[in-house]
Structure 1
Amino acid sequence: MLHALYLLGIAAFAASGVLAAHRAGMDPFGGLVLAFAAALSGGTLRDLVLGRHPLYWTHDRLLLVVIAAVAVATMLHLRRRPTLPHRTLMVVDAVGLAVVTVIGARAAIDAHVTPVAVLILAVLTGVTGEVVRDVLCGEFPPLLLREEVYATAALAGAAVHLALHAAGAGDTATTCVSAGLVFALRMTAVLRDLHLPRLRHVPD
């Protein structure tokens, strides 16, 4: 189940990469690059921090095929319907954030790192693909740094995942509840236009 869920999260981030490239006016190659960058960056950073070699995607052929297939399918869809609402990108991105954050938490727990490290690695796994995608699209600051409920949603989901695991809850329930929380928080923020407080300038 975990691998199937990971494929879902990777597919969502791949689609979000193509949608972002489309909004930025990139060509198909740019869309493909962003699909792979958005899908693989978070897990790559997680594996590097944990010292896991080889990197997870270098020996998972299905993973790379899914990314390429989703990227091509999204591009073909955009040829038929080139004007997608911005909220579509937000929904697809929220799915990727929810799933990949939980996978990051699970991998960190399996590596027997400290609880704080679990939270950090889960958030990094979830948000890194979005940061790389936005930077490559020339969006600055990235979505993560624009008062958005994004990393905070990932942090909440990771904390719940860690707490449920410590309490002895089953893997399926833990995964579904924590991923559902991340998605619900992110989509509530999008639909209700909720933002974190902006840092205010403090005079010298």
Structure 2
Amino acid sequence: MIDWIYFFDLCGTSVFALSGALAAGRHKMDPFGVIVLASVTAVGGGSIRDAILGTTPVFWIQDPNYIIVILATVLLTLIFVRKPKRVPRYIFPVADAFGLALFTIIGAEKALSLELGGMIAVVMGLITGVGGGIIRDLLCQQVPMVLRTEIYATASIMGGICYTISLYWGAPDMFALLFAMATALTIRLAAIRWHLSLPAFDLKTQQK
């Protein structure tokens, strides 16, 4: 029987590696830079999660398939995406949205498998979903996407909540997984399409 959680984890790794590789292409990095940025984007959030939960060595050290997936994704990106400027602008945020949805559920499931509470599962899903992207953006000397664009972290939080509540109500694992992923992905894609955002905290200081 297919281990769907593991399958989606590898898919999320590939999608986030693609996101990192595309970001590297936009910043005209060399192949080594592409590998580094793809790697930290793909495994950064999960590594932070495992360090917090104390499940060490972290997942990609225990299972080299994650590194193989990252390298294969980078290789295919370098071969088929020869002209980064010609890549449609929507590809990067859409790929990132899929990675966010996938990794949110993976992080929440990891916490629940350790018999932690639902709130911790949602937080771990959020860290797994946004951690790699934060590292990617910082290396690119940009304000992290989670802090500067349309609804992002909220999509991850809602996905984690849907996943934990679905399991609490006794829904089948596959239904909970797909429902939560669809929720997070729909919210994020809607935010991209219609530029939806939460109200900004605008603290204006009095001019002297």
The answer, yes or no, to whether TM exceeds 0.5 is yes
Aligned match of 2:62: 59
Return the match for 1:50 from 49, 53, 59: 53
RMSD of the TM alignment (CA)? 1.3
Structure 1 residues 145-174: Cα deviation after superposition (integer angstroms, max 9, x where no partner):
014211100000000001001011111000
CA distance in 2, matches of 1:75, 1:26: 11
The number of residues matched between the two structures is 203
CA distances 1:103-153 after superposition (whole Å, capped 9, x unpaired): 0000011111222211111100100011011111111x2111014211100
Structure 2 residue corresponding to 1:83, chosen from 73, 82, 86:
86
Shift of 1:26: 1.2
Identity across the alignment (%): 34
1:173 is aligned to: 175
Give, in whole Å, the separation in 2 of the partners of 1:196 and 1:21.
Answer: 28
Residue matched to 1:196? 198
- Alignment partner of 1:100 is 2:95: no
What does residue 71 of structure 2 align with?
68
Partners of 1:96 and 1:58 lie apart in 2 by 20
How far apart are 1:86 and its partner, in Å?
A: 2.1
Residue of structure 1 in register with 2:17 after alignment: 14
Which structure 2 segments of 5+ residues have no match?
none
Q: Say which SS state the counterpart of residue 90 (structure 2) adopts.
A: helix
For 1:75 and 1:152, the matched residues in 2 are separated by 32
Q: How far does residue 203 in structure 1 lie from its aligned partner after superposition?
A: 3.9
Q: Letter of the aligned partner of 1:155 in structure 2?
A: I
Aligned-pair distance for 1:202?
4.2
Q: How high is the TM-score relative to the length of structure 2?
A: 0.94
Matches of residues 84-163 of structure 1 in structure 2 within 5 Å? 84-139=87-142, 141-163=143-165
1:31 counterpart = 2:34: yes
The CA deviation at 1:82 is 4.3
SS in 1 for 2:86: coil
- Rounded to whole Å, the distance in 1 between the matches of 2:64 and 2:116 is 28
